[in-house]
């Protein structure tokens, strides 16, 4: 894996690390984006779910009939500071896998959530997941994508802290 293929995005959230970790893992569907940009298989609806603990799965539950796409498996489960999981899209071939690590660092104003998404060099430059982009252009695109998700996480986590028991969406 080369350093050039990695994406790293950080955002400060005004909640304690335990709250940020909890919202990230148990309220995934409340903050994860909807539609074809953020869901993994057609019809790009359904829900997102994370099974807690080492070996748990990151799932896109496509429909009520039980169709499920497994995005990845948890490789590190260290509440409230760290989470890591494998990541793949439906059009990845065997051996094409990326990895996501999420860190929840205490800061004076709450928590700095940092997502690192590496392993993109396992995909050839012409792979559809790259959207015709390589190098810096690809990193900026994927960083923007994670930035949107973290902004949504921030909104949901801070709302949850202000209104315990309520959901934003």
What would the pLDDT profile of 3-23 be if each residue is shown by its tens digit?
567 899 999 999 999 999 999
The Cα-based distances of 23 to 31, 37, 79, 101 in angstroms read 9, 21, 12, 16
What's the pLDDT at 4?
62
The reported pTM is: 0.92
What's the pLDDT at 66?
79
Helix (H, G, I), strand (E, B) or coil at 128: helix
C-beta separation of 48 from 69 below 8 A: no
Q: Which residues contact 146 (CB under 8 A, 6 or more apart)?
A: 7, 9, 115, 117
What's the pLDDT at 166?
54
Under-70 pLDDT residues of the chain = 1-4, 164-169
What's the pLDDT at 1?
42
For residue 97, give both structure tokens.
């896998």
Smallest CA-to-CA distance from 58 within 35, 24, 94, 81 is with 24
Backbone dihedral angles phi then psi of residue 7, each to the nearest 5 degrees: -120, 135
């Amino acid at each position: 894996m080369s350093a050039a293929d990695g994406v790293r995005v950080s955002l400060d959230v005004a909640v304690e690390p335990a709250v940020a970790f909890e919202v990230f893992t148990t309220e995934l569907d409340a903050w994860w984006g909807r539609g074809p940009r953020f869901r993994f298989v057609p019809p790009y609806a359904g829900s997102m779910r994370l099974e807690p603990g080492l070996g748990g799965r990151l799932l896109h539950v496509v429909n009520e009939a039980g169709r499920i796409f497994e995005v990845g498996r948890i490789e590190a489960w260290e509440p409230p500071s760290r989470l890591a999981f494998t990541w793949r899209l439906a059009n990845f071939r065997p051996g094409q896998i990326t990895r996501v690590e999420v860190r929840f660092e205490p800061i004076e104003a709450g928590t700095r959530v940092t997502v690192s998404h590496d392993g993109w060099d396992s995909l050839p430059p012409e792979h559809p997941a790259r959207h015709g982009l390589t190098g810096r252009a690809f990193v900026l695109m994927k960083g923007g994508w994670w930035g949107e998700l973290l902004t949504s996480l921030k909104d949901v986590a801070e709302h949850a802290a202000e209104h315990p028991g309520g959901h934003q969406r």
